[in-house]
Structure formats: structure tokens, C-alpha cells
Amino acid sequence: MKDSEVGKVFILDTTLRDGEQAPGATLTSDQKLEIARALALLGVDGIEAGFPAASPDDLEAVRTIAREVGGPGGPVIQGLARAARGDIDAAWEAVKEAARPRIHVFLATSDLHMRHKLKMTREEVLVRAEEMVAYARGLGAEVQFSPEDASRSDPTFLHQVLRAVVRAGATTVNIPDTVGYAVPHEYGALIASLKAAVPANVTVSVHCHDDLGLACANSAAGLAAGARQVECTINGIGERAGNCSLEEIVMLLRTRRDAMRLATQIETPQLCRVSRLVSRHTGFPVPPNKAVVGGNAFAHESGIHQHGMISNRETYEIMRPEDVGARATQLVLGKHSGRHAFAARLAELGAALDGEGLDRAFARFKLLAERKKEIHDADLVALASDEVARAPRVWELEALQVGCGTVGMATATVKLKDVNGAIVVHAAVGAGPIDAAFKAIEAIVSSDIVLEELAVQAVTEGTDALGEVGVRVRRPSDEPIRVAPAAELPRPRVFHGHAADGDIVVASVKAYLDAVNRSIAERMAVIPAEAAS
């Protein structure tokens, strides 16, 4: 099919805004910037970088992304704002340095939300929406408007609101299925009616949640009905059950181009790399059965399936692993490989390192190569990711010894080195080797953090697989955190740790120590408070 025969779909990624609103997915400013850069390389058309009015930290993070990622030729940088002047001012302050700044104004239009949340009449909502869009447009930004809970709004009133905001200067109208309530045929019909009601030069956008598992299907129905922008997130993360998954909707349009007659500019071989980056920074593992980027997406165990794959892989694969950057199974490097080859392969995998980080990763690679018969790309990416994700070294693991079995409690002896080079050793007992090691670390560092989650997965297959561990801990906050103008809510501080090692106990200890370091570093001002997740 010729390019002239397909329509262009704009990908607006909201991983850094809606995605970060998933409980426990808090990101640091540095992590947001790294993800934003990865999204730009991926080829997204726009990035919703945050909700600037939520906190000074969020405003500064969006401003940095606008300045460093949103330059000429880069993606649209968008900030979310309620239909209020203070929110809009904060959003403009955050995005104005981008080459293409956009303010995303939203206001609920369903009777349920207007009556119980906004305490406003339809007439008041109509006037407020038009006034605030005009105010945002007057600042100089592109304006996108979203009628929150659109899929449960009265269609006649929804049409009124959209016509009003378009008159006021909105060039994109985004139609949220805020609570994942719609089904594809009715959502498609809604989009078709709204598309017909607004001028041809206004972009209709879809934003679907996955409460009933229909986010991607609803988004596809909206695109088929005439929408030309889709809001989505990496790995489908977001409020509650999440959002439409970027990798799923993009590969749907690519794989079924014949049926959808639509295309994006996404560099799809980058999908798995960006998926892993977001997973690592949020602490949310990608389920093995996740479409497109899951570990089993291109795995075949059934004898019948294997026979078909040997004959022709199209019998059981509608996408090629290389199209999404999925790991291959071939041996790529071994114990005789040099530092240059190692660095070059990391660069090819989109996980480049240099300096001390490269030195440490290469040293660990050589040790791994002595133990493993085959080293896969996934092993290399895990080693590199371990260096990129490393927190400031307030405490560093020097040695670990554990004892466990079927009789009695497990024991662990931990040797740590502090930031000044002093060595401290402590032993502890626990319900298992990991529990004992964590208790020994707690005794040394005197940390008050509480373990919330320990996620363990094998990077590759086999008993010699590299183990990857993610840890999420929380520390009760002594100070309230500002989450909106004139509103302060106390909440625990959340810190993520990540590590990979051939020994799963060692990996767990390193990941836990990584999270402990982030917590301690924030209090000691080794890193700025706004940079802690």
C-alpha cells in the first residue's frame, strides 16, 4: 500500500503525566528527562510532560523537558491544566520554551461529574470552558481541550462544548473515555459524530482507559471513525488499570495497515528498549504475556507451534521480533570479547555507556561470561541498565555471605562501604537469606524505610540466567507534599531500586541498597529533594 493511500496518526505520549499517576510510579526529574529523550528518539509527535500546577517539582521537570527535548524539529511539549487561570499560567510557564508548546485544558462534561465534583451547571461549564481556552490561547500556546468523562456525557451538550472551545481557539479536541466505560462500536460512533461537528482543520484525539480491557480497541475504533491523534502510554501504565498502550496501538496500525489504512512515524525497533526503560524507572515489571513487549510475546513452547515456526515463522508470528526490538536468542558476545566490542554492542542496543559506568559494566560482563555458556542481548541491556539506574553511592556493597536451609533461620553477613570509604560489617538472621540481608543493611544504615515490593525476574532462560530485581520502598514523610494549589496532603515518599546479577540474592541486596541510597541521599542533600522519586 502506497504512503499516499494511508492517513497519518499523531502519537501523543502521556507516560510522564497520566502514566506517572499510577500509584507507586513516581519518577524523579532526571528519570523524566531520560524517558522524554527516549520518547523523542522513538519518534512520538508529542509528549505530555506533566501537570505543572501539581507542584513546583513537576513544573520544573516539564520546563526542563521543554527546553532540552522540545527544540526545533522535536515533539510538541504539552502541559496539563484544569480550567483555571492558575493552572494555565503554570502550564504556560513550564512549556513556553518549547518550539511547539501546547496547553492541555480539561473540564468535566458528564452530569455525574458536574453535579458531584464540580458543583457546576451545564451553562457554567460551557462558559468556563470557552473562557479558559481563550485565555490559554491568548498566552501564545497551541491549545488542546478535553471534556473529562466524555464517553458518559450527554452528546448534545458535548457538541455544544466542543463548538465553543473551537471558537475560542482550541485546535485539538481530545475525547477521554476517562473510566474505560465505552465499548468500541459506541465510542467509534461518538468520535464520528464529533468529527462531523468540528471544522476539518481541528484534530480529534482519543484518550482511552483500560478498566474493561478495551483501551486499545476503543482507540482503534476512534481512529477508524476519523480521529487522528491517540493519547497513550508506554506499557499502558496509568490511573487504575492504565491507558491505551503505545506499543499495542502502534503495532496494530503497522501490522494491520491493510485494514486500518493508517500509519505513524514511530521507530518501532526502539519499542522494547523504551518499554524496559519505563519499567525500570517506575518499578513496574512488564508481564510476560504483555502484547508486543512481553517476554513471551515471541516465545513458542508448544510442539505444534514450534513445528510451524520451523517451516515458516509466519504460521505463528504476525510481527517479527526485530520489528519491535525484541531480544534475539543468538550468542552475541563471549568471554574473549574486548571492551570495544562490548561498548559497540551496547550502543547498537540503545544502551550506550562510557567512562566509569562502561568500565564497571564491562568488568561484570567478563565475570558473567566466565559462568554463562551464552550471553544474550538481554543480559547486556540488564548490565547497562544497572549502571544507568544506579543511585548516588552513600553506601556500597563490598561483600555478602548468607547461610540458609531447612533447619533454623537464615543468616546474612553484609559488608558495606560508606561515602567516606569506611567499612562496616553486620550480621543478622531472618526468614530467608534476602530478609536476613535486608535486616543487616537496615542495622548498618539506620534507615526507617519500609519494603513495599520486591519483584524478581530472569533476564534470559536457564539456570545461569541473569536475575533482575526491582525494589520499591517507602519512607513516611515528615513534611506535607503540595499536590495542587491550596491543597496539601501528607504522603509517604517512594523510592525505587534496581539491580541485575547472576546471583538473585546478590541482585536483591543491590536493588534494596540502591533504594536505601536514594532515600538517604535525599535527606543528606546529596541529591536535590526534587530529584527523588
- State the average pLDDT over residues 495-501: 83
CB 469 within 8 A of CB 454: yes
For the chain, the average pLDDT equals 88
* Confidence (pTM): 0.76
- List, for residues 358-410, the tens digit of each pLDDT value: 998 899 888 888 877 677 777 888 888 777 766 677 899 999 999 998 888 99
- Asked, for residue 174, whether it belongs to a domain, the answer is yes
For residue 349, the model assigns a pLDDT of 73
Q: Residue 481: is its pLDDT beyond 80?
A: no
For residue 392, the model assigns a pLDDT of 72
Q: Is 403 in the same domain as 383? A: no
Choose the final residue of a domain: 342, 357, 388.
Answer: 388
Q: Is 256 in the same domain as 404? A: no
Cα–Cα dist 231/244, whole Å: 7
Q: Residue 70: is its pLDDT beyond 80?
A: yes
- Asked, for residue 495, whether it belongs to a domain, the answer is yes
Sequence-ordered strand ranges (E) for 301-409 = 395-403
- State the average pLDDT over residues 327-333: 52
Residue 81 belongs to domain with CATH number: 3.20.20.70
Q: What is the DSSP string of 495-520?
A: EEEEEEESSHHHHHHHHHHHHHHHHH
More confident residue, 383 or 111: 111
The rounded Cα 486 to chain-centroid distance in angstroms is: 29
- Asked, for residue 93, whether it belongs to a domain, the answer is yes
**Residue 352: domain span:** 330-388
CB 19 within 8 A of CB 233: yes
Q: Is 213 in the same domain as 308? A: no
- Asked, for residue 472, whether it belongs to a domain, the answer is yes
Ranked by mean pLDDT, which of 109-123, 343-357, 519-533 comes out on top? 109-123
Q: Is 132 in the same domain as 226? A: yes
Q: Is 138 in the same domain as 79? A: yes
For residue 524, the model assigns a pLDDT of 64
The secondary structure of the chain in percent helix, strand, coil, rounded to multiples of 5, reads: 45, 20, 35
HSE-CB at 219 with a 13 A cutoff on CA atoms is 35
- State the average pLDDT over residues 206-223: 98
CB 202 within 8 A of CB 172: yes
- Asked, for residue 289, whether it belongs to a domain, the answer is no
More confident residue, 492 or 109: 109
Q: Residue 345: is its pLDDT beyond 90?
A: no
Q: Is 380 in the same domain as 473? A: no
Residue 450 belongs to domain with CATH number: 3.30.160.270
Structural domain tally of the chain?
A: 4
Sequence-ordered strand ranges (E) for 431-529 = 450-458, 467-475, 481-484, 487-489, 493-501
Q: Is 73 in the same domain as 202? A: yes
For 135, the grid coordinates are 485565555
Q: Is 448 in the same domain as 334? A: no
- Asked, for residue 290, whether it belongs to a domain, the answer is no
Q: Is 349 in the same domain as 407? A: no
For residue 77, the model assigns a pLDDT of 98
- Asked, for residue 214, whether it belongs to a domain, the answer is yes
Place of cell 508529542: 46
Helix (H) or strand (E) run with residue 207 in it: strand 203-208
Sequence-ordered strand ranges (E) for 313-433 = 395-403, 410-418, 423-430
Helix (H) or strand (E) run with residue 121 in it: none
**Which has the minimum average pLDDT: 392-396, 428-432, 475-479?**
475-479
Q: Is 46 in the same domain as 91? A: yes
Distances (CA, A) of 285 to 277, 323, 394, 503: 11, 22, 26, 19
For residue 302, the model assigns a pLDDT of 53
Q: Is 213 in the same domain as 270? A: yes
- List, for residues 281-292, the tens digit of each pLDDT value: 998 989 989 999
Q: Residue 8: is its pLDDT beyond 80?
A: yes
Q: Is 249 in the same domain as 123? A: yes
- Asked, for residue 151, whether it belongs to a domain, the answer is yes
Q: Residue 526: is its pLDDT beyond 50?
A: no
Q: Which residues contact 335 (CB under 8 A, 6 or more apart)?
A: 366, 369, 370
